[in-house]
Structure 1
Amino acid sequence: MYVIFIIISYYFHNDFFFIHLDWLSQKKKSMNFEELSSDDLAKELRCFYAEARTKNGNQYSKSALVSIRAGINRHLTSPPYSRTINIMKDKEFMSSNHVLIGIVKSLKREGADKTKHHPPISNGDLEKMYSSGVLSITNPTSLVRKVWFEITLHFCRRGREGLRELTPKSFLLHKDDTGREYFTMSYNEADKTHHGVDSRESVKDTRLYALPESDLCPVKSLKLYLSKRNPKNNAFFQRPLTSFEPAYDVWYVNAPMGYHTLGNMMSNISKAAGLSLTYTNHCVRATTATVLAHSGVSSLGILSVTGHRNEKSIQSYVNAPSVSQRRQYSETLQRVATGVVSQCNLTSPAPPSSASTSFVAVREVSESTMLGGGSLFCGSSFHVAGEGQLHINVYTVPGGGKRNEE
């Protein structure tokens, strides 16, 4: 019975695997495709890649097709089948992969690739979620939203996976050697990269630490939520009371929160807080990796939190610039292109104290242009050196400012 539950739970989380099963059922083919030889399986996959369609009759996007293939491969190579094949790389599957590549190229040519990326939540929107009161401890709805978001952020949970299976016992409270409190998860349920039966799987030892000096301490919120849950129901996420008083001992009804509500938690938070985008649950996972990467955490450190198997999986997070960086890039390009450079936005990288830096510029430039109010060199001095070269002295002061001095 326990083995059956594990297999059903695995299938439930492997949504892309079900797409292949649906196609087999529609085409009245054998559902036992795991037993096919590599050659026969390759022939079947060629047809599947070419014919697979969404419920609306549209072709799947590039990312969906790649994920479907990975899901099938993961199913074949995991217990109880444990086949030693790779439908993505083995030469026996070259023909089926050529079909997939051809479909992807066709989608790009037609502009029909509807790949949906999961952007990280911008710093401005992160701040707004809290400042708006949408994430707070003042009422049942804002409290459960805050707890959900911080659990998803710190434990880098994947979208909607396993949320209904969580119970109060899923979280354990500890103290470290300094006496600081933190929560851990008592177990990591199966997801698409962690089935519990593969020795290559990384072990996540993530901690949600208390911030004693902050009113928004995540440990304080989680402890409050645990104390306000309805003890008659074992589900961790419960439906909030529609009418309550802060003095009530219980803030939640005797019923688990619905799958749809949990699956759209970040979307509902985005709308309630008036964020710049309507984010999805998976965007929180992207936010975890991106924030850590932009904060200087090593790739191995990020892997220990996200649970990814290799560094390539997180390169998009590590290399992608933030929203503020993209904004800065655009402003820089436009200012240079139009010749408008704002002095107040200029900073000197690692300026020496009371030192001057000498630049060499072209000689066909007027003094009014060089020293005008909107000029990069406003407040600097310049002189013509030997052979007609123009030297400009930009004087700096400690802190990166610029001093008008000749």
Structure 2
Amino acid sequence: MSDDLFDDDLDLLTLTQNGYFDVVEQSNELFGFDFEEEVSQTDQIHTDASELSVDIANSILDCHQQETMNDTGNIINNVNPVITETLNCTTQNPENIVDEQENNINCGKSNANNPTFLNITDEEKENFVTGMKNKNTVKKTETSLRQFQRWLAEPPRNELRQIWNIIPTELDNFIGSFLLSIRKADGSEYEPDTLTSYHRGIDRCLRENKYPHSIITDKEFATSRQVLASKRKELKGKGKGNRPNAAEPLTVNERQMLREKGLTGTDSPKKLLNLIWLNNTVLFGLRGGNENRQLRWGDIKIKTNDHGREYIEYNERLTKTRTAEKTTEVRHFSPKQFAHDTLETCPVYAYKVFAQHRPTEMCQPESPFYLGINYKRLPGSDKWYKSQPLGEHTLNTLMKTMAIECGLQGKKTNHSARKTTCTDLLHSGIAPTTIQQLSAHRNVQSVNNYAKASCEMQEHMSDILSHNPNPPKLKNAIQMCQTQSKQSLTNSTGPPRQILAPVQSPFNATVSSNIRTMSGIELVSTHTGQILQNARLMNCPITIINKSVKTDDISPSPKRRRRICPVIESDSGSE
């Protein structure tokens, strides 16, 4: 082999600063083996690699100095032993391996504790993200985009571009005109919240497509926001915006009617299914749709507290406001349903009966909680339900179906049960922050929105303001609250609450006062001589500031005397 040949081939060998060597493809053909493949089998120790590269270079240079090199096999014979010796040395001395390279995935060592990885395509990743979004939110976004694109395509606009490809000034004008012109199919006006929903849906669509501006906050879309605000005011002036389709909570009488008319109970599969759903939604504070659909049998377990009282506990999954996107999105406590002696309304007893009538194979932790009714079961069979989940439509309309069959007044939907949770607790004097921990609302103001006076409370207020001499007895608004308050003291497992002692009045005058708790219970009406005598105060902080003094100790204040000085008119007059 000539010197020129070696001059050209030596350029193919590059020694790096770390002592590593790289050989290009042409060198592989020359030497008959792959340097890179051989060296990759080692743990790439810096010291060994440096010695390896120097030895290889010296071997090639020694071969280059030979006068006659017609056989390239001589080079291989000189280089191969060096590589083989270095590989054996590295393999036989694993203690020389540094820690960071022991964890390298290319080191050739197998570790059973290392995680495994799946091959995920970009399409699968996008489908996964889309599938985890709230279905109702996705549906609203698609509807808003579809209607807006349809409006843009109509003459005289004839705009066929995607909305995220339109510049902000044009898009701002289009959005304002769209919100001002949209009507229902019959030509009537939409509710103000519906227009806001369209506006928010367009914004979500733009954000998903990485539009550089926000139509809710950026100044480029101030005009469309002003149009929306003005349109809401106009609709409010026409009597809209009062949420006529809002669901109404269940009253105590209505829940009693459901039991009396055979819609809830434990003696038939349909009654039991309705009762279990109602208990879970009201006592756990679940949302009537998605949270009940994703409920699994293993999410609810029966337990016993320190006092021996049984209860069932709910382990929460994905919810509307708790998606685990933030580490702080965790419930303060797991909701519970406690047992009591009245079997007709005892939630733990209903749960046990429901467990007895389920198929054995549907009692696994991941089995659906709500099952379809087996209408073809054999006579005397205790398996009331099928080995398949309850239909989605049936589950979403349980409360509406019960209300129709029972003849309940007002708009009753699945959300009525959750609304009953917040309304009853607020009317019973439970703090909104405590209710928030049960209902899993993100903001306490959302709980306060349920603090609405019931129909009976409104009737009571009307009688007071109209001076009705013969008001009807409102046992559900007042007497029932008193009974619940007494029961809360009697059934309390903790230490009894301290009752304030009578406060002695420092004066003998007659004091009239009306002190009420948050639930509207009149505690004190008239007190003579002693304030709050024999009064029981519950769930209401009271501060009494008494600045009065006894009338006998009152002495007239001394009169202020004014000094009268003679006025001298002139010096001559004084003489």
Asked whether the two chains share a fold, i.e. TM above 0.5, the reply is: yes
Query: Is this contact kept in 2: 1:267–1:280, CA < 8 A?
Result: yes
Provide the residue aligned with 2:434 in structure 1: 301
CA distance in 1, matches of 2:203, 2:161: 15
Amino acid corresponding to residue 266 of structure 2 in structure 1: I
Query: Is this contact kept in 2: 1:232–1:254, CA < 8 A?
Result: yes
- 1:330-384, Cα deviation, whole Å (9 max, x unpaired): 22233x1x6x356999x9xx999xx99589xxxxxxxxxxxxxxxxxxxxxxxxx
Provide the residue aligned with 1:142 in structure 2: 271
Shift of 1:144: 0.6
Query: Is this contact kept in 1: 2:396–2:414, CA < 8 A?
Result: yes
Aligned to 2:303, the other structure's residue is in SS state strand
1:276 pairs with one of 409, 414, 428:
409
Q: Are 2:330 and 1:205 aligned? A: no
Aligned to 1:137, the other structure's residue is in SS state coil
Provide the residue aligned with 2:394 in structure 1: 261
Q: Are 2:261 and 1:126 aligned? A: no
Query: Is this contact kept in 1: 2:300–2:315, CA < 8 A?
Result: yes
Query: Is this contact kept in 2: 1:147–1:221, CA < 8 A?
Result: yes
Provide the residue aligned with 1:7 in structure 2: 130
Shift of 1:141: 0.6
CA distance in 1, matches of 2:325, 2:448: 26
Provide the residue aligned with 1:180 in structure 2: 309
CA distance in 1, matches of 2:125, 2:385: 31
CA distance in 2, matches of 1:204, 1:43: 46
2:141 pairs with one of 2, 5, 17:
17
Amino acid corresponding to residue 142 of structure 2 in structure 1: F
CA distance in 2, matches of 1:247, 1:225: 16
Q: Are 2:300 and 1:168 aligned? A: no
CA distance in 2, matches of 1:181, 1:211: 6
Provide the residue aligned with 2:347 in structure 1: 218
1:105 pairs with one of 221, 225, 233:
233
Shift of 1:140: 0.6
Aligned to 2:301, the other structure's residue is in SS state strand
Q: In the superposition, relative to structure 1, how do residues 210 and 71 fare at CA in structure 2: closer, same or farther (>3 Å)?
A: farther
CA distance in 1, matches of 2:323, 2:206: 13
Shift of 1:149: 1.0
**Structure 2: any 5+ residue segments left out of the alignment?**
1-123, 154-158, 479-499, 513-532, 537-575
Aligned to 1:209, the other structure's residue is in SS state strand
Aligned to 2:333, the other structure's residue is in SS state coil
Query: Is this contact kept in 1: 2:316–2:334, CA < 8 A?
Result: no
Q: In the superposition, relative to structure 1, how do residues 265 and 37 fare at CA in structure 2: closer, same or farther (>3 Å)?
A: farther
CA distance in 2, matches of 1:85, 1:202: 32
- 1:225-277, Cα deviation, whole Å (9 max, x unpaired): 23323456643222223366895231123443223222221111112233233
CA distance in 2, matches of 1:34, 1:139: 56
Query: Is this contact kept in 2: 1:154–1:206, CA < 8 A?
Result: no
TM-score (norm 2): 0.52
CA distance in 1, matches of 2:423, 2:206: 32
Q: In the superposition, relative to structure 1, how do residues 200 and 398 fare at CA in structure 2: closer, same or farther (>3 Å)?
A: closer
Amino acid corresponding to residue 94 of structure 1 in structure 2: A
Aligned to 1:97, the other structure's residue is in SS state helix
Q: In the superposition, relative to structure 1, how do residues 302 and 67 fare at CA in structure 2: closer, same or farther (>3 Å)?
A: farther
Shift of 1:47: 4.3
Q: In the superposition, relative to structure 1, how do residues 209 and 238 fare at CA in structure 2: closer, same or farther (>3 Å)?
A: same
Moved more, 278-287 or 15-24: 15-24
Moved more, 161-170 or 256-265: 161-170
CA distance in 2, matches of 1:132, 1:69: 45
Provide the residue aligned with 2:463 in structure 1: 331
CA distance in 2, matches of 1:128, 1:96: 50
Provide the residue aligned with 2:422 in structure 1: 289
Aligned to 1:60, the other structure's residue is in SS state coil
1:315 pairs with one of 442, 448, 461:
448
Shift of 1:148: 0.9
CA distance in 2, matches of 1:173, 1:31: 58
Shift of 1:328: 0.7
Q: In the superposition, relative to structure 1, how do residues 70 and 152 fare at CA in structure 2: closer, same or farther (>3 Å)?
A: farther
CA distance in 2, matches of 1:199, 1:83: 28
CA distance in 2, matches of 1:310, 1:181: 32
Provide the residue aligned with 2:196 in structure 1: 66
TM-score (norm 1): 0.71
Shift of 1:21: 2.9
Aligned to 1:126, the other structure's residue is in SS state helix
Shift of 1:9: 4.3
CA distance in 2, matches of 1:95, 1:217: 57
Query: Is this contact kept in 1: 2:315–2:334, CA < 8 A?
Result: no
Shift of 1:143: 0.6
Amino acid corresponding to residue 333 of structure 2 in structure 1: D
CA distance in 1, matches of 2:166, 2:288: 33
Provide the residue aligned with 1:385 in structure 2: none
CA distance in 1, matches of 2:316, 2:172: 38
Query: Is this contact kept in 1: 2:274–2:398, CA < 8 A?
Result: yes
Shift of 1:197: 1.4
Shift of 1:142: 0.7
